[in-house]
Chain A
Amino acid sequence: MTPPEERIVRIEVNGRPTSALVEPRTLLCDYIRNHVGLTGTNVGCEHGVCGACTVRIDGDIARSCITFAAQVDGGKVETVESIAPSTDELHPIQRAFEAEHGLQCGFCTPGFLITTQALLERNPDPSETEIREFLSGNICRCTGYVGIVNAVKRAARDLRDRGT
């Protein structure tokens, strides 16, 4: 069997047009890491269970390890790198995770940050139950989630106070 034809994929990543010649089997996470060079998106379980690779596809959170880059051809993706307003300033969600010890090893953190961003856009004042439900697709093996939930609460408070 001749190897399947590579194809050019064009995806707007964090507002910047990107393109690459990739095999059809190239996963979106590998496109982002290897072809675009953004390594903030972590690849954990690689079968859609752990949530570390969560990105936003056309605005909606999704798992980049169970999506092929070719499926997103012509679409828009946002990664964890899009959250901070600049290279030397953290977003309130990131500051809250730091302040509340919402991470230890940090491997799962990109997925938690992106998921938290999506939650707080939709629901600026979530209850603890709503936070836990929304984050239930993201697995952390270090923290036991207490710090993470507190971080989301703090981020929600800070963002409300800021009036954004």
Chain B
Amino acid sequence: MKPTPFEYHRAETTEEAVRLLVECGEEAKVLAGGQSLVPTMNLRLAQPSALIDIAGIGGLAGIAREGGSLRVGATTRQSAVLADPEIAVDAPMVAEALRWVGHEANRNRGTFGGSAAHADPAAEIPAVLVALGADLEITGPRGFRTVPAADFFVSFFTTSIEPDELLTAVRLPSRHGPWAFEEIARRHGDFALVGVAAALVVDEQGIVGACDLVLMGVDDVPWSAQAAQEVVVGNRVTPELAREARAVIESTVEPSSDVHASSCYRSHAAGVLVERALLKATGRKEQG
């Protein structure tokens, strides 16, 4: 199918994009890479009255070091983030997760900010942003604000970005602790049936000081596995502890069933992936 008619605006600056968002009203949508938006428009699941194309705004694309964090411009293509040498060193989980996002042909067009703003609960990047404690920079007619990833995702395809606001960048803190990203998808490049982003802080004695376990595909937002995190913090990660965390996941997660997988399967897979992620993350520690 083809999309319904819409007005097309190509914004040259962030200010112009915000002005257009205000003028065009709530039925307007921001277009960056279009890899999620255009399919939904082709299927007529989305029928925006106007699209505001932000891909050409100078300064919205690119990766820059700012203090202890990497600032990824919202329209930076996913393939550019995946290939970036600083991302590989300071946010390796981001690169690993991006390998699971669609296929090369999608990642060449799809943007990093687009993945966050689209907020698909089965998508990789939202879960990674919550696990890493990223901050999202938002600009609108009432000014600039920064929202922690944990508060950014509100519900299915819904974020705390207001209709007249624009996501301009994602700030990724440098984290060099143990990490792992695990996912089960029916075919590579599909959305996750279940996945987990795990980021730990471990001291020299091997005691876990902080543990973020964030699952995708099990709730309407990236799901922080609080109870399992509490099991891990203060302890050494051993096979027994990882198994205990798995059991806690399986008894606390409440995924829904859909055509792709049952709730029961997703609960089981979530536990298995968390156990695997904990062992992989801590096994990787010595490699830096």
Contact = CB atoms under 8 A, between A and B. Distances in A.
A23 B5 contact: yes
Contacts of B41: 25
Contacts of A23: 5
A49 B191 CA distance: 12
Interface string B1-33: 111111110100000000000000000000100
A83 interface: no
A140 to B, nearest CB: 14
Given A24-B8, A47-B42, A134 B104 contact: yes
B8 A68 contact: yes
Interface stretch (A58-66, A84-92, A101-109, A148-156): A58-66
Given A24-B51, A60-B108, A70-B53, A48 B7 contact: no
A5 B7 CA distance: 7
Interface residues of A, number: 34
B188 interface: yes
A25 B3 contact: yes
B204 to A, nearest CB: 38
A128 to B, nearest CB: 15
B177 interface: no
A51 B7 contact: no
Interface in A5-61: 5, 7, 23-25, 27, 30, 46-49, 51, 54, 57, 60-61
A51 B105 contact: yes
B206 interface: no
A32 B181 CA distance: 39
Contacts of A63: 105-106, 109
A24 B5 contact: yes
B239 interface: no
Contact of B188 (A62, A65, A133): A133
Interface of A: 1, 3-5, 7, 23-25, 27, 30, 46-49, 51, 54, 57, 60-63, 65-68, 70-71, 73, 115, 118, 133-134, 136-137
18 contacts: A4-B8, A24-B8, A25-B5, A27-B38, A46-B42, A47-B42, A48-B39, A54-B105, A57-B109, A60-B79, A61-B105, A62-B108, A63-B105, A63-B109, A65-B42, A66-B38, A68-B31, A71-B55
Given A25-B5, A61-B108, A115-B104, 13 more contacts: A4-B6, A23-B5, A25-B3, A27-B38, A46-B2, A47-B39, A48-B38, A48-B42, A66-B109, A68-B38, A68-B51, A70-B53, A137-B105
